[in-house]
Structures are given as structure tokens and as C-alpha cells.
Amino acid sequence: MSNDVKLIDYLRERHSTPVAQIKGPGPDASELEEILTSATRVPDHGKLAPWRLVVYRGDICKALGETFLEIALQQNGEMTDAAKDAELARFTRAPLVVGVISTAAPHVKIPEWEQVLSAGAVCLNMLMACEARGYVANWRTEWVAYDDKALKALGVNDGEKVAGFIHIGSSDFATPDRPRPQLADILTYA
Ligand SMILES: Cc1cc2nc3c(=O)[nH]c(=O)nc-3n(C[C@H](O)[C@H](O)[C@H](O)COP(=O)(O)O)c2cc1C
């Protein structure tokens, strides 16, 4: 998104870039700090900050791929070479991945559901903050967000959940739009 695009125009056309189309460069350390700071400026009932972020980039992403492959082989037995490569590359497709981890927990006043929703808001805000800084992003979870062994390798603690892995980088790919719901089909006036 260029700086002279109005927010409403951006939102009208907003879309993700497929992970396979996300290449380098990724944001540098100060751009990333700005993106992550903006991303966490979200509605948050009770000011609990019921989420945290984990940045995966560089060698750690390669090592994670090896761990994912190991787990997948234990669970699936035989795998094709393409399937093995997909595991190895799971966190190296884009220059970096940011995990948005929901730390939602029972609270005396704030429903857990609302805490979870706030983590989703961080994910969408991060997509938009990336675009605002001239990068592209894609919000994924994939099986590694639901597998106990993978979660341990990813640094996700017991009781936490992955709201999203945001894959971030650059692209000039013209993403075709996907079908969008017609407003009339999902809207009623009470
Ligand atoms: C919580 C969540 C998890 C997702 N996980 C996956 C996934 O594992 N694999 C996938 O292909 N798409 C996944 N998606 C969809 C991608 O983000 C997809 O690229 C996106 O919905 C495209 O929509 P957009 O163009 O409106 O951003 C997920 C979306 C959400 C909200």
C-alpha cells in the first residue's frame, strides 16, 4: 500500500498474498518493531493484553522445518519427497514468520472468548501494518498450530493457543481476488 492510498480505498481492496509468492526482502529490525508495535494496538477488553508475539527468522526457521519433518514422519510414516520438502520449508517460505499466541484464560470479569477475539485483531492488524510499511503478509495456522510436539518446538506453552502465524515479506505478484460474501447475504437490520 503506498502512502497516498486512503485507508478506505485500501480496505475496499484488501487481500493477502499467497505464501508461495512471498519473497525477500522482509522488514529490517526497526521496521519490524514498528509493525509489531502497531499490530498490538488493538481493542482489548479489560486491558489484559491476552496475547504475545514470537518472531521466527533465520536459522531457527530452518531448524523448525527439520523438527516439523521429524514429527510428520513419526505420524505419517512414508512421505513423498515433495511432502518432506514442504515440511522443511514450512517456516522458510517467507523471510520471517510472526506467531501471534493467544494467552486467553478464565478471568473474573472478561470472557475468555473476548480475549481470543482480541488475538485475532492483532493478526489482522499485523497484515495491515505490513502493507502500510510496503510489505505483504499471509495469516496461516497449518497443522503445526495444533500439534503438541510442534507447539513445544515453536515455544508455545501449555494452555496457550496459536491465533496465527503471519508470514511476512515482499511480492509484486498480482493476487487474483477470491470470492467475497455479498453484503446483502450476511446483513440484516434489526
Ligand atoms: C485463523 C486463520 C488461519 C488460517 N490458516 C490457513 C492455513 O492454515 N492454510 C491456508 O491455506 N489458509 C489459511 N488461512 C487463510 C489465509 O489467511 C488466506 O490467505 C486468507 O484468508 C486470504 O484472505 P484475504 O485475501 O482476505 O486476506 C487462515 C485464515 C485464518 C483467519
The 10s digit of each residue's pLDDT in 95-119 is 999 999 999 999 999 999 999 999 9
DSSP assignments along 152-176, one per residue? HHTTPPTT-EEEEEEEEEB----PP
- pLDDT for residue 96: 98
What are the grid coordinates assigned to 151, written together?
A: 507447539
Does the residue 136 lie in any domain? Answer: yes
Our count of domains for the chain comes to 1
Please give the distance, rounded to the nearest whole angstrom, from the Cα atom of residue 42 to the centre of ligand 1. 20
Does the residue 152 lie in any domain? Answer: yes
The secondary structure element, H or E, covering residue 104 is none
Does the residue 122 lie in any domain? Answer: yes
Residue 149 has pLDDT above 70, yes or no: yes
Which residue has the least CA distance to atom 11 on ligand 1? 140
Does the residue 63 lie in any domain? Answer: no
What are the grid coordinates assigned to 170, written together?
A: 515482499
What is the domain range of residue 158?
23-56+95-171
Per the confidence metrics, is the pTM higher than 0.85? yes
CATH code (residue 103): 3.40.109.10
Please give the distance, rounded to the nearest whole angstrom, from the Cα atom of residue 190 to the centre of ligand 1. 30
Place of cell 453484503: 183
